[in-house]
Amino acid sequence: MRLSVLDQSPISEGMTGSQALRNTIDLAQLTDRLGYHRYWVAEHHGGPMLAGPSPEALIGPIASATERIRVGSGGVMLPHYSPFKVAETFSVLAGLYPGRIDLGLGRAAGTDPMTTHALQRDRSKALPDDFPEQLAELLAYFEGTIPVSSPLARLAKVLPGRPETPEPWLLGSSPQSAVWAAELGLPYAFADFINPAGAEITALYRRDFADGVRLDAPRTVVAVWALAAETEEEAARLATSSKMAFAMLRRGRLIAVPPPDVAERFLATEEVALKRRTIVGTPGQVRAGIDAVAKEYGAEEVIVVTITYDHGARRRSYELIAEAFNLPSRSSTTRSQPTDSSSATSWDASTSVPR
């Protein structure tokens, strides 16, 4: 089973967005050496917690700073964009880093309604709900399948990165995304850390998958929230930061990731009921939990989202998980970027993963 990484360039209390972005490069370099398969960055807008509004701007620097790991979007929120512009951008990336670029695509806004409005070029009306049409057009640019009678047909021939193309993925956490992925014959990444009841949805995807349209067989990846530390107690303590941040998000209050001592005091006095799966504990416990989720979903790959206040703790978690799974680590000539370990961290804004 392959292990991969989903990173949203999180911002901790006392940290700048610039530090968070440098931490993303640092973590990508580390997980490349550790033997993780792919590194995805997400798209979130208009909040104080996450420094990653444009995965297309981060993918190039990450791919340049690493050697082997696949790099991609987890994902691009297509309703905000022209399909042709996305095709051009990811064609450039694929041309520069052949065989390493993924294009994960989602339907959600990645933010709140007001910020969604601010992102629109035409603010006189709501965005059209035409995601399937957008997706079909985008794929047609890469595949050269736009009808010759269409005035857009010539554009597929002039994508700058040709003959290289990115690998498209559909991301989701609902049955509708599974239906589209199956119909289009696309690989499918499901966000268990948003919806832990997705096993039946991925089963639907595999059952209805259109063999031979783009893949010979369905490919299922599941994204899980996991955190490992040397002891169960330390892992539980580190996990309090994300629990508090997520609880505040559900109340409509966006905050930077708090330190564990602040989060522990908050959780001791507030009633917090979070309906999501977390895999927290020692390396052995986390491996058992990840294996169980992969089996439940029928997934051949797990993408790990890890959330801590301190960047060093997040790095260590990925190291421990890699060791637990005996990933084939490799030496590297790349150099890590400097980080501020006193305030570096990670956080996931799960409301913005595509649905």
pLDDT tens figures, 259-308: 999 999 999 988 777 778 999 999 999 999 999 999 999 999 999 999 89
pLDDT at 352 over 60: no
59-73, 101-115, 136-150, 273-287 — most confident range: 59-73
Q: How far apart are CA 82 and CA 60, in angstroms?
A: 20
Residue ranges of the domains in the chain? 2-352
Correct CATH for 2-352 of 3.20.20.30, 3.40.50.300, 2.130.10.10, 1.10.8.640: 3.20.20.30
CA distance 93 to 98: 8
Rounded to a whole number, what is the distance in angstroms from the first to the last CA of the chain? 25
Query: Can you list the pairs that 122-127 forms with residues at least 24 positions away whose Cβ atoms lie under 8 Å?
Result: 127/79, 127/80
Q: How many CB atoms lie within 10 A of CB 112?
A: 16
Whether 88 shows a pLDDT value over 50: the answer reads yes
Query: Quick one: angle between helices 55-65 and 17-34, nearest 10?
Result: 50
Q: Given this model, what pLDDT does residue 110 score? A: 66
d(C-alpha 39, C-alpha 294), whole Å: 18
* pLDDT, mean over the chain: 90
DSSP 156: G
